[in-house]
């Protein structure tokens, strides 16, 4: 954006020939911070090499670094994010360095860009290639990619019958009761605790049964007048 309103905005268009996986970083503080700079740029992609350029002209108390990324896309992303980034008090100046490319680097860069343009111009072809890759991964299996993404359908009648069988099995299964006289723990204190708890539970159950019988045997009152 322009510094003043009357000035036109500074716009520069980068072509595939201008882009490169080689970057030159200027205005780095001369504090021996190469490792910190490498760590900062490595967050945006894999780096093969990073070294200072001692022969490069630069301002006083600053250094220039040469960085080689593995992929052009990583270098593009790092330049977009870290250009004018304030690093230890100085704004970094990141630029492409295609002059360091070899013939194989340029060929690989152009081939990658050709594939990207074809994928963007023809999205259906990219989907077919993805399906073809999936088929190669699942080679030897009878499941197709469309069948793998769709869960198997279950018949509602079969589901209801299975549910009824489960309910009948639960209702008809015999209820097993554990004997209270059997000792299940090696420690006598734990067995004693279990016995005392069971005795208390039996007392509570017997008292509840007596109350229930008493309420049943109690005669209903015939006089409905209110007593004061």
Residue 171: the pLDDT is 65
Residue 224 has pLDDT above 90, yes or no: no
In this prediction, residue 191 has a pLDDT band, given cuts at 50, 70 and 90, of confident
Residue 84 has pLDDT above 60, yes or no: yes
Residue 148: the pLDDT is 47
At the top level of CATH, the class of 22-104 is alpha beta
In this prediction, residue 167 has a pLDDT band, given cuts at 50, 70 and 90, of confident
The Cα–Cα gap between 122 and 120 comes to 6
DSSP string computed for 26-65: EEEETTT-HHHHHHHHHTTS-EEEEEE-TTS---TTEEEE
Query: What would the mean pLDDT of 155-159 be, rounded to a whole number?
Result: 66
174 CB-side CA count, 13 A: 3
Mean of all residue pLDDT scores within the chain = 76
The Cα–Cα gap between 131 and 137 comes to 10
Residue 10: the pLDDT is 64
Residue 143: the pLDDT is 47
Residue 177: the pLDDT is 55
pTM for this prediction: 0.48
Bridge-partner residues for 68, per DSSP? 22, 49
Are the C-beta atoms of 9 and 74 separated by less than 8 Å? no
Residues 41-78: tens digit of each pLDDT? 999 989 999 999 888 888 888 899 999 999 888 998 99
Sequence spans of domains, the chain: 22-104
């Amino acid at each position: 954006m322009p510094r003043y309103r009357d000035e036109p905005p500074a716009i520069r268009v980068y072509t595939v020939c201008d882009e490169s996986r080689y970057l030159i970083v200027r205005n780095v503080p001369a504090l021996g911070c190469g490792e910190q700079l490498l760590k900062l740029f490595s967050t945006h992609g894999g780096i093969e090499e990073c070294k200072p350029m001692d022969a490069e002209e630069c301002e006083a108390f600053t250094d220039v670094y040469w960085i080689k990324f593995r992929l052009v896309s990583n270098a593009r992303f790092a330049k977009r994010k870290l250009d004018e980034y304030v690093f230890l008090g100085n704004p970094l100046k990141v630029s492409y360095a295609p002059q360091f490319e070899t013939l194989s680097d340029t060929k690989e860069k152009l081939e990658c860009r050709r594939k990207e343009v074809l994928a963007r111009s023809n999205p259906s072809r990219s989907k077919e290639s993805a399906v073809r890759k999936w088929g190669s991964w699942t080679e030897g299996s009878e499941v197709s990619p469309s069948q793998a993404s769709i869960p198997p359908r279950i018949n509602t009648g079969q589901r209801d019958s299975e549910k009824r069988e489960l309910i009948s099995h639960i209702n008809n299964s015999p209820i097993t009761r554990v004997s209270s006289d059997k000792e299940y723990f090696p420690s006598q204190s734990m067995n004693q605790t279990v016995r005392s708890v069971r005795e208390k539970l039996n007392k509570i159950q017997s008292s509840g049964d007596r109350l229930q019988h008493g309420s049943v045997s109690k005669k209903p009152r015939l006089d409905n007048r209110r007593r004061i």
